[in-house]
Amino acid sequence: MQNQPKPRTALLLFNYSEKQKASLKKIAPRINEQSLKSLIGRLNKRAKKITSQADLPFFQLNANSKQNFGEQLYQAYEDLFLLGYDQVIGISNDCPELNANDLRLAEEGLTENDFVFGPAKDGGLYLLGLKKEKVSKKQFVGLQSLGVAYV
């Protein structure tokens, strides 16, 4: 039996800084804009470090708050599939416990499953791994209606 080639996997950091800023303002209402930007920058830097340790190609989506986030995220996955990746693992930058081993486990999980989820305590997701062509745009954007919140 011949060895199957390993699927090409990409990592996608989905950054929704406007939503993060609003959430952080609720937690720390006196924090100024510069401190918010600095904190989000540090979160992004940490996420990039983790992805480099996982040794997978890395891409970043900076979501636009004027467009539907689910549609933007779907399009980012589709764009990576069009670049030739077989599976994409999307992460958010606000999960301090996430590490490179978690990303490798997610990649392994996609070898046997069409989807891999990393559920967050707030009801959202910190990780969403998908195989190419397994989810339609309608289903993907509809995740929000199933109670899955985008983080």
Q: CA dihedral defined by 112, 52, 86, 106, rounded to 10 degrees? A: 20
Read off φ and ψ for residue 91, nearest 5 degrees.
Answer: -130, 160
Asked if residues 53 and 45 have their Cβ atoms less than 8 Å apart, the reply is: no
Top pLDDT among 110 and 33 is at: 110
Mean pLDDT of the chain: 79
Q: How confident is the model at residue 86 (pLDDT cuts 50, 70, 90)?
A: very high
Indicate if the pLDDT at residue 64 is higher than 90. Answer: no
Indicate if the pLDDT at residue 18 is higher than 70. Answer: no
The whole-number pLDDT of residue 20 equals 66
pLDDT digits (tens, 9 = 90+) for 137-146: 776 666 554 4
Top pLDDT among 96 and 77 is at: 77
The whole-number pLDDT of residue 119 equals 78
Question: What is the pTM (predicted TM-score) of this model?
Answer: 0.80
The whole-number pLDDT of residue 59 equals 92
Q: How confident is the model at residue 108 (pLDDT cuts 50, 70, 90)?
A: very high
Average pLDDT for 11-35: 76
The whole-number pLDDT of residue 9 equals 93
Tokens of 22: 């609003």
How large is the C-alpha radius of gyration of the chain?
Answer: 16
The whole-number pLDDT of residue 5 equals 55
